[in-house]
Amino acid sequence: MLSALAEAPDFSSAASFLLAQVLDLADAERGHMLRLDAAQESLVSVASVGYETPPRALIPIGDLSNPLVLSALALVPVTGGGRSSSRAFVSIARWTALPMPQARLRGTLPVMPLPHAQELLGEGEVRFLTAVERRLASAPGGVIVVEGAVPERVIGSVTTLVMLAGPIIARLASLQESRDSIDRLTQQRDRLTLMVDSLPDPVVITNATNDIIAQNSRAERLLNGKEGDSSGRRRAIELNNLLFTSFLAKAVMMGSPTSGPRELNLVDPDEGNDLLFEVLAHPLSERVGPDDAVLSVLRDVTDLRRAANELERQVQRVRLAEMKASSERDRLNLILENVADPILVTDERANIILMNDQAEQLFQASEIQQRSRRQIQAVRGNDTKFTSFISEFALLDTRARRERMALVHPANGNQLPIEVVSGKIMNERGEPIAIVSVLHDLTKEVEIERLYETLKTLNSELEERIRAATADLAEQNARLQWQSQEVERANRLKSEFLASMSHELRTPINALIGYSALLIDGVLGEINERQRDALRRGRAAAEHLLALINDILDLAKIEAGKMPLHLEEVELRDVVAEVSQQIEPMVRKKALEFVVDISTECPPLHTDRTKVRQVLLNLLSNAVKFTNRGRVAVVARCDDARDGVRIDVVDTGIGIREKDLQAIWEDFRQVDQSRTREFGGTGLGLSITRKLLDRLGGTVSVRSQYGEGSVFSVLLPQRTPHGASEEIAAARSG
């Protein structure tokens, strides 16, 4: 039976077989086997026979009140029934427990001495059966519980059978356990291998001489060549081994494998590209591997490093951009601070983000406690106006807006007309992110506009006045024109009258002069001295009248345009000689020095001889008339600069006052009445002289020092321009 037991294929069939044999011997129906489980320190059901539901007992070995425990520990059969059944954890009325020893080995429990067991069991329904001889080198191994009482006659042999079978069962059990554990371990190893192989990182275990003891499949791909590998792959694998070994050697040199270099460059044998690994090395404890074995996990950080490099580059770029932005911002601030106009930057909800000092003065209420109520009000008012403008603008579709606004200067409370120019700053999606506003001070413009308006009013008033004045003038002009026409008509009539009356006037006067001379000379009979004196006075008066009439007639002729020019070659010298002869008696009478100085280079003049003679006669007779001592001179000069001649009539006479220098040229003008009486004359000489020179295209002017003398200067052109005076006359009358 025992040899059959030993040949059982496994533990459970052996247990069932033994149990069946025991029941058969004991003539029992049901029974079950409990084994001592060292790990659980309990009696655990392992096999049963005859039960519908096999009992599942687990009895702690420390429970020394349990008779099954005592039976197992003391290696004594025990029988019980009734109430004790519950203590025995079997649902049977009567039972017998047969101890099942095992070989005493390391870790088995010692056998309990019988007296001690007896003491623990006490007196009762449960009792030890006749003790079978306990074998040496036996240890408690379990118990077989048989339902019912085993008959006295077989108890000995049944117990012996169980005692003998116990060690075999125990060995089979331990064999089974080993097998199970091998299965479990194999399963575990497979699982672990799968796990390690499925790791994306190469994992390698090396020994003290840096030989690879174990590696996962990823490591194999990098470090292990196979039959049929291409030469490229083989070379790459050789290189990798070299690199890895030298890495490990270096690590050893550095002391501990964990403190050495951490980065390892390998080559991908399939792709050929470089791979970068971070090596995490762990020394393995003795329990896991051989001495000095090191587990190296190679973390592929190629992508990580690439990403890190990329990140570093990005960071660098961001830093650069930041630096640029900050310098941009500094520059912007500098610009903002140096612009004379207030500048504000607001977000799209009209909150001020940025402003320069000028804007702060208008909108900033930071030192508000130091400000007066008026200032606070001004700042708030400005802010309200500006904010509502910006809010409106933010809603509009336009990019820029310009508007006039009346702000108040908080510092002095003055009105501040401004123009706001705002522009939106868009992001790349075309949404406004900020609004920049520049405020132009319009005080000057407004003042200029006001002045311009005033000026416009004044201007229109002035225009109105000018219009009125012009109308007035036009009226006056018309009147004057009419008057001038009348005057001219009267003048012409007068001149015509005089011209035609010359004969009528001169004939009677000549008769008077002639008859007076005859009477004075005594041709018509003797007269006394008183009569002669009266006649002389009469004759002088008549002569004066004649001279006056002659002058008036000359003037009238000139004015009436009845004095035609007779142009010819005239030697100035000749004309001067003629005139000198004429005035010679007067010069002599006054005992004056008379000088004629005519430049020899003067060419003959092309002019009207009679008129030149009359001009010189008028000037010379005046010079002699108004000079009582000294000299009278005629000086004529022709030089190249001037086309013509200059004739100066110089005297050392009474001279002319400064204030009279204009008046002497007027008709009938004699500047000093008392003097006139002394010197005689008509007051027409100079007027006629000027008019004659006009006709000849010349001019006359005077310089004089009162009381010292005068110089009358005549300028005559070398050729009298044809029609000169007509043009002049025409220009005058026009």
The residues binding ligand ADP (CB under 6 A) are 622-623, 626, 651, 653-654, 656, 664, 669-672, 676, 681-687, 710
Q: Is 143 exposed, middle or buried (0-12, 13-18, 19+ CB in 10 A)?
A: buried
Q: 356 or 622: whose CB is closer to ligand ADP?
A: 622
Q: What would the two tokens of residue 688 be?
A: 């006629």
Q: State the minimum distance, in angstroms, from the CB of residue 542 to ligand ADP.
A: 17
CA separation for the pair 547, 680 (Å, rounded): 11
Q: 452 or 668: whose CB is closer to ligand ADP?
A: 668
Q: State the minimum distance, in angstroms, from the CB of residue 591 to ligand ADP.
A: 18
Q: State the minimum distance, in angstroms, from the CB of residue 592 to ligand ADP.
A: 12
Q: State the minimum distance, in angstroms, from the CB of residue 614 to ligand ADP.
A: 12
First to last CA, the chain: 178
Q: 202 or 653: whose CB is closer to ligand ADP?
A: 653
One-letter amino acid of 704: S
CA separation for the pair 572, 648 (Å, rounded): 13
Q: State the minimum distance, in angstroms, from the CB of residue 541 to ligand ADP.
A: 16
Q: State the minimum distance, in angstroms, from the CB of residue 573 to ligand ADP.
A: 22
Asked whether the CA dihedral 549, 551, 552, 554 is positive or negative, the reply is: positive
Residue matched to tokens 């090596």:
279
Taking CA atoms, 551 is separated from 556, 560, 683, 714, in Å, by: 8, 14, 9, 20
Q: 20 or 547: whose CB is closer to ligand ADP?
A: 547
CA separation for the pair 79, 211 (Å, rounded): 66
33 contact partners, CB below 8 Å, separation of at least 6: 15, 18, 19, 45, 46, 47, 48, 100, 142, 143, 144, 145, 169
164 contact partners, CB below 8 Å, separation of at least 6: 2
Q: 437 or 687: whose CB is closer to ligand ADP?
A: 687
CA separation for the pair 616, 636 (Å, rounded): 12
Q: 237 or 579: whose CB is closer to ligand ADP?
A: 579
Q: State the minimum distance, in angstroms, from the CB of residue 600 to ligand ADP.
A: 27
Q: 42 or 670: whose CB is closer to ligand ADP?
A: 670
Q: 135 or 703: whose CB is closer to ligand ADP?
A: 703
Q: 505 or 671: whose CB is closer to ligand ADP?
A: 671
Q: State the minimum distance, in angstroms, from the CB of residue 703 to ligand ADP.
A: 11
Positions of E strands within 15-137: 31-37, 42-49, 58-60, 78-81, 94-103, 127-128
Q: What would the two tokens of residue 368 be?
A: 């508000």
Q: 225 or 683: whose CB is closer to ligand ADP?
A: 683
Q: State the minimum distance, in angstroms, from the CB of residue 551 to ligand ADP.
A: 8
Q: 238 or 672: whose CB is closer to ligand ADP?
A: 672
- Reference 100, options 7, 180, 18; nearest CA is 18
Q: 31 or 681: whose CB is closer to ligand ADP?
A: 681
680: left (phi over 0), alpha (psi -120 to 50) or beta: left
Q: What would the two tokens of residue 189 be?
A: 């190893």
Q: 390 or 684: whose CB is closer to ligand ADP?
A: 684
Taking CA atoms, 613 is separated from 253, 620, 684, in Å, by: 145, 10, 16
CA separation for the pair 74, 159 (Å, rounded): 13
Q: State the minimum distance, in angstroms, from the CB of residue 615 to ligand ADP.
A: 11
Q: State the minimum distance, in angstroms, from the CB of residue 672 to ligand ADP.
A: 6
Residue matched to tokens 């200029």:
448
Q: 348 or 660: whose CB is closer to ligand ADP?
A: 660
Q: 87 or 669: whose CB is closer to ligand ADP?
A: 669
Which of helix, strand or coil describes residue 115? Answer: helix
Q: State the minimum distance, in angstroms, from the CB of residue 612 to ligand ADP.
A: 17
CA separation for the pair 161, 165 (Å, rounded): 6
Positions of E strands within 446-561: none
Q: State the minimum distance, in angstroms, from the CB of residue 490 to ligand ADP.
A: 23
Contact 146, 28 (CB under 8 A): yes
One-letter amino acid of 147: E
Contact 132, 86 (CB under 8 A): no
Residue 418 phi, psi (nearest 5):
-135, 165
Contact 26, 151 (CB under 8 A): yes
CA separation for the pair 146, 713 (Å, rounded): 185
CA separation for the pair 512, 53 (Å, rounded): 202
| The 631-637 sheet, strands edge to edge | 593-598, 631-637, 644-651, 709-717, 699-705
Q: State the minimum distance, in angstroms, from the CB of residue 681 to ligand ADP.
A: 3
Q: State the minimum distance, in angstroms, from the CB of residue 693 to ligand ADP.
A: 14
